Every structure is written in structure tokens, then in C-alpha cells.
Amino acid sequence: MKYRHSYHAGNFADTMKHLVLIELLNALLRKPGEFVYIETHAGRGEYPLDARETRSTSEYREGIGRVLAAREQLDGPLRDYVELVLRLGGDPQSGRLQRYPGSPLLAATLIRPSDRAVLVELEPTERRALERALAEHRNVSVRGEDGYVALRGLLPPPERRGMVLIDPSYEAEEEFDRVYEALLDAHRRWATGIYAIWYPIKRRETVARFQGRLVRSGLRRILCAELGLYPQDSRVALNGSGMIIMNPPWKLDESLQTLLPVLQRALAARSGTTRCEWLVPE
Ligand SMILES: C[S@@+](CC[C@H](N)C(=O)[O-])C[C@H]1O[C@@H](n2cnc3c(N)ncnc32)[C@H](O)[C@@H]1O
């Protein structure tokens, strides 16, 4: 495993993924019943922007850096996301961002004491950093295993509500197949959970194959949200960021249809598109 998220932390894909994640968690938080948040590929929890890896690519400058610069023009959920990021990683004196919070830290901050989070990270150095980043959160447990294997044992959870985030590194194209199999298996074990899967948009045919399998799978209620920054099939490393959301909360489709174009403008994207539509409805 060569992938380190430190090279990409806070990039445009992270802003899209984390905005969607916060929308999902806020929907769960609207009801009083306790819920579980499970993450199969958790990363290290927070990312100092002055770390060597993060500085070497500086991808965050075209991601959270641009959203922060547009902060005063933002409102609603996008403004809330920026404020949360600043609260967790900003310097209170200068207001400048020093650390970008990963999905585990965002989720652990938002859930209530009665809720629970289980975070799985296979790479030992990343896992130890994750444990340090979340040490104060008593309702969070960290596991150092293969996320797909761990997920099987975690479902169905005793709480009857909750969500699973699957956010692998896609070092090989077969990762799309692993994700697909994991979703099918997870749905057999826990059909009512909310599942959010992040995927990279590099070659359009890879994504189309993955989505075609989902359409033919027999699974229902599958929403697809995408934010593209570069023309499809460009030779930049990442043309766009996509998410599959199965069993999305009520009206998530409508809120993302509004939010994604606002995020795209905040990212000062010159080309590209946003999309939020049902791959498979009810
Ligand atoms: C894209 S990063 C996660 C970023 C994180 N979700 C966030 O948004 O802050 C993917 C992580 O998965 C880890 N990983 C790779 N293969 C794994 C596996 N089979 N099981 C669990 N973790 C794995 C990598 O070490 C990496 O930290």
C-alpha cells in the first residue's frame, strides 16, 4: 500500500465528500434515536497542512483553500462546513487553517454521546495517528484491519439507524469491484443502513462500468452525486469526485442539486459539471 491521504488532504474531492458526509450526519442527527457511524477506510483523522507530503502537492490550495477564500459569500450547509473545518483545524489567533480534519474527526465531532463511531484503518502508521487524533472521543473505536472484512462483522449493528462510509484509495481499478461486492454483502446483512461510497472520476468508462453494475444489481434507492473540475478523460490525475449514496435521507437529492453547483463556483472551477440523480429510484 503506497497511498497516503496526506498528499491529497483538503483537495476538491475532500471538500465534496465531506460536505455530503455532513449532510448525511445532519439528517441522522435530526431524529432522537441513537445511530452508528462506520468508516471502512478512515485515514489518519487530521492532516497538518505543513506536513512534507501535504506541502509537496499543495492540493488543498485548490480545494479547501478556495472554499475558505470564498467564505464570506457562502451561507447554509457550505458555510457550516467551512466553519466546522476552521473550528477543528484553524488557528484561533490568525483564523488561518493549520490542519485539515478528515472524515473521522468531522464525524466524531458531530455525533452525540449516545451515538457511536467505528473507524477502520489498515495501515499501522495511519491507524496510530487516527487513534491519537480521536483519543478524546469516548464513543469512537478504531480498528486496524481490512475495512471490507471488518464491515462484515459489524453488520447489522445493534442501533437500528446509521451509515457506512466506504472511501478507499483506488490504487488499482479492481477496487471498484471490491466496493461493489462489499455493498452487495453489506446490504444483505443490513438493508436499511445508509451507504456512502466515494469514487474517483478519472476514466469515464471505469465509472460507467461501476454504475452499470449497480443499476443491474437489484439494489434500490441509489443516488449518484458528482462534481467534475476538468473535462472528462483529461490527463490530470483526478477529473472529478463522485459519490454513490444508497438509502439517502429524505430530500438529500434536492439539497445536493443546490449545493454542488455552489461548491463548484466556490472552487472557482472553469469547466466541468455537477450531477445529482437517481441511478436506481425506489
Ligand atoms: C482516501 S483515504 C481515507 C480518507 C478519509 N476517509 C477522509 O476522508 O479523511 C483511504 C485510507 O484507506 C486506507 N486503506 C487502504 N486499504 C485499506 C483496507 N483494505 N482496509 C482499511 N483501510 C485501508 C489507506 O491507508 C488510507 O488511509
pLDDT number for residue 8: 94
C-alpha distances in Å from residue 156, one per residue of 29, 67, 99, 196, 222 = 20, 37, 34, 16, 20
Query: If pLDDT is split at 50, 70 and 90, which confidence band does 233 have?
Result: low
Q: How far is the CA of 39 from the centre of ligand 1 (A)?
A: 9
Q: Whose CA is nearest to atom 12 of ligand 1?
A: 41
Q: Write the DSSP symbol of residue 224.
A: E
Ligand 1 site, residue 123, Cβ cutoff 6 A: yes
Query: If pLDDT is split at 50, 70 and 90, which confidence band does 273 have?
Result: confident
Ligand 1 site, residue 211, Cβ cutoff 6 A: no
- Start-to-end C-alpha separation, the chain: 38
Residues 49-54 have a mean pLDDT of 92
Residue 25 vs residue 239, higher pLDDT: 25
Helix, strand or coil, per DSSP, at residue 9: coil
Q: Whose CA is nearest to atom 4 of ligand 1?
A: 43
Share of the chain above pLDDT 70, in %: 97
Share of the chain above pLDDT 90, in %: 87
Q: How far is the CA of 121 from the centre of ligand 1 (A)?
A: 6
**Of 180, 238, 250, 240, nearest in space to 209 by CA:** 180
Q: Is-contact 118 36, C-beta < 8 A?
A: yes
In the predicted model, is pLDDT for residue 45 greater than 90? yes
Q: How far is the CA of 53 from the centre of ligand 1 (A)?
A: 16
In the predicted model, is pLDDT for residue 230 greater than 80? no
Residues 127-144 have a mean pLDDT of 98
Q: Residue 200: left (phi > 0), alpha (psi -120 to 50), or beta? A: beta
Q: How far is the CA of 28 from the centre of ligand 1 (A)?
A: 23
Residue 262 vs residue 230, higher pLDDT: 262
Ligand 1 site, residue 1, Cβ cutoff 6 A: yes
H runs (alpha helix) in the chain: 12-29, 52-57, 64-69, 76-89, 103-110, 124-133, 147-154, 175-189, 204-216, 252-266
Q: Which atom of ligand 1 is nearest to the CA of 168?
A: 10
Mutational test site, ligand 1, from 44, 122, 164, max ligand atoms within 8 Å of CB: 122
Mutational test site, ligand 1, from 60, 125, 169, max ligand atoms within 8 Å of CB: 169
Helix, strand or coil, per DSSP, at residue 236: coil
Catalytically annotated residue among 75, 80, 167, 185: 167
Mutational test site, ligand 1, from 1, 4, 5, max ligand atoms within 8 Å of CB: 5
d(CA 61, CA 68): 10
Handedness of CA 261, 265, 267, 269 (dihedral sign): positive
The two beta strands, 274-280 and 222-228, are antiparallel
Reading the block at residue 59, the C-alpha cell is: 492540493
- Per-residue DSSP letters for 127-149? HHHHHHHTTT-TTEEEE-S-HHH
In the predicted model, is pLDDT for residue 232 greater than 80? no
- Per-residue DSSP letters for 164-198? EEE----SSTTHHHHHHHHHHHHHHH-TTSEEEEE
50 is catalytic: no
Reading the block at residue 13, the C-alpha cell is: 474531492
In the predicted model, is pLDDT for residue 93 greater than 80? no
Ligand 1 site, residue 147, Cβ cutoff 6 A: yes
